[in-house]
């Protein structure tokens, strides 16, 4: 029976949860997630977790912070004066906003705290600092490109 290895293109159904049991994402009701194993298309712990699985196999993997989205980077948390925000904007903790960097690239931040004269914004990935749990079901292995040896 074929097992997943680096370079394989696979399809997997998943149910992603925090260690508290709270669901943050799942493929139920959608197409399975398709990716090439080892290519960096998914977080390292997810990539490593599918290695050795066979089609139809189900398993649960626990991914430590370092192999998920990493720890929260304090340099990605900034405080901005309230007067830099539109007066009519209803700001509340958890509100996602788009900002531009010095090169004009947009990125998402989340309102982390509202102070008297400023608003704290967090540009870390929403799952940074979290250990993750995934229930997986391998749906398909396309296999990697065959190795062709020419004499």
Model confidence pLDDT, tens digit, residues 83-95: 999 989 999 999 9
| Selection from 87, 137, 92 nearest residue 112 by Cα | 92
Give 3-state DSSP helix, strand, coil % of the chain, rounded to 5. 10, 40, 50
- pLDDT category, 40, cuts 50, 70, 90? very high
Tell me the average pLDDT across 8-25. 97
- pLDDT for the residue 51: 97
pLDDT at 47: 96
Domain 9-70+127-143 has CATH 3.10.50.40: yes
- Which of 151, 140, 121 has the alpha carbon at shortest distance from 56? 140
Percent of residues, the chain, with pLDDT higher than 90: 85
Q: Of 11, 13, 16, give the one whose Cα is nearest residue 36.
A: 11
Mean pLDDT (the chain) is 93
**Fold designation for 74-122:** Thrombin, subunit H (2.40.10)
Residue pLDDT, tens place only, 52-105: 999 999 999 999 999 999 999 999 999 999 999 998 999 999 999 998 888 989
Q: Alpha-carbon distance 126 to 124, whole Å?
A: 6
Global pTM? 0.79
Distance, CA of 91 to CA of 52 (rounded, Å): 47
Q: Which residues contact 96 (CB under 8 A, 6 or more apart)?
A: 108, 109, 110
* Domain boundary assignment for the chain: 9-70+127-143, 74-122
Report the pLDDT value the prediction gives residue 142, as an integer from 0 to 100. Answer: 87
Which element (helix H / strand E) includes 49?
helix 44-50
| Long-range contacts, 11-14 (Cβ 8 Å, 24+) | 11/138, 11/139, 11/140, 12/50, 12/136, 12/137, 12/138, 12/139, 13/136, 13/137, 13/139, 14/46, 14/134, 14/135, 14/136, 14/137
Q: Flag whether pLDDT at 145 surpasses 60.
A: no
Residues in the chain: 151
- Cα separation, 79 vs 118, in Å, equals 6
């Amino acid at each position: 029976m074929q097992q997943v290895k680096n370079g394989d293109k696979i399809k997997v159904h998943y149910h992603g949860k925090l260690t508290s049991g709270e669901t943050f994402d799942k493929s139920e009701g959608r197409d399975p997630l398709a990716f090439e194993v080892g290519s960096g298309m998914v977080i390292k712990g997810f990539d490593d977790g599918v290695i050795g699985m066979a089609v139809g196999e189900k398993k649960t993997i626990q991914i430590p912070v370092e192999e998920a989205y990493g720890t929260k980077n304090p340099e990605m948390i900034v405080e901005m004066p309230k007067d830099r925000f539109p007066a009519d904007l209803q700001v509340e903790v958890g509100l996602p906003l788009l900002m531009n960097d010095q090169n004009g690239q947009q990125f998402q931040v989340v309102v982390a705290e509202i102070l008297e004269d400023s608003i704290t914004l967090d540009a870390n990935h929403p799952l940074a600092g979290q250990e993750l749990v995934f229930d997986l079901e391998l749906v398909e292995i396309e296999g990697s490109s065959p190795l062709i040896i020419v004499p």
